[in-house]
């Protein structure tokens, strides 16, 4: 990554959503496809993860973005919690 890239990072305990504003063309596809309405438009039409707590890590935003401008990362703490939960259920 070059230094002039504008990266916006949104995060909570479980999720990290990274938007590369230099690559984003404000097409709105990620916002339209998000089933949980996590993303809203900023004044330039770029996604803002306003409702990040609702993210279910379906990855649709990342997969549908034609410009690879948005990435979603499920944090390790969430994975660890899921494993713990699973072992309790077993
Ligand atoms: S991963 Fe799914 S739920 Fe999360 S922001 Fe992207 S489209 Fe929405
Ligand atoms: S789909 Fe990609 S290019 Fe289109 S608004 Fe979302 S992040 Fe930007």
Residue with tokens 């939960």: 85
Kindly give the number of the ligand 1 atom that is closest to the alpha carbon of 56.
3
Global pTM reads: 0.85
Q: Is residue 1 part of a domain?
A: no
Q: Is residue 32 part of a domain?
A: yes
Q: How many CA atoms lie within 13 A of 35 on its CB side?
A: 5
Kindly give the number of the ligand 2 atom that is closest to the alpha carbon of 61.
1
Q: In which band, very low, low, confident or very high, does the pLDDT at 1 lie, cut at 50, 70 and 90? A: very low
Q: Is residue 62 part of a domain?
A: yes
The residue segments making up the domain with residue 62 are 7-89
Question: What are 45-78's pLDDT values in tens digits?
Answer: 999 999 999 999 999 999 999 999 999 999 976 6
Distance 17 CA to ligand 1 centre (A): 9
Kindly give the number of the ligand 2 atom that is closest to the alpha carbon of 45.
5
Nearest residue CA, atom 3 of ligand 2?
24
Question: What are 5-48's pLDDT values in tens digits?
Answer: 799 999 999 999 999 999 999 999 999 999 999 999 999 999 99
Sheet of 70-74, strands arranged across = 7-11, 15-20, 70-74
> CA 79 from chain center: how many Å?
16
């Amino acid at each position: 990554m070059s230094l002039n890239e504008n990266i916006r990072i949104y995060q909570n305990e479980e999720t990290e959503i990274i938007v590369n504003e230099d690559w984003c063309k404000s097409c709105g596809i990620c916002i339209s496809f998000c089933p949980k309405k996590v993303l809203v438009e900023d004044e330039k039409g770029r996604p803002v993860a306003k409702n990040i707590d609702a993210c279910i890590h379906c990855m649709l935003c990342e997969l549908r973005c034609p410009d690879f401008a948005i990435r979603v990362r499920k944090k390790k703490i969430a994975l660890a919690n899921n494993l713990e939960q699973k072992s309790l259920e077993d």
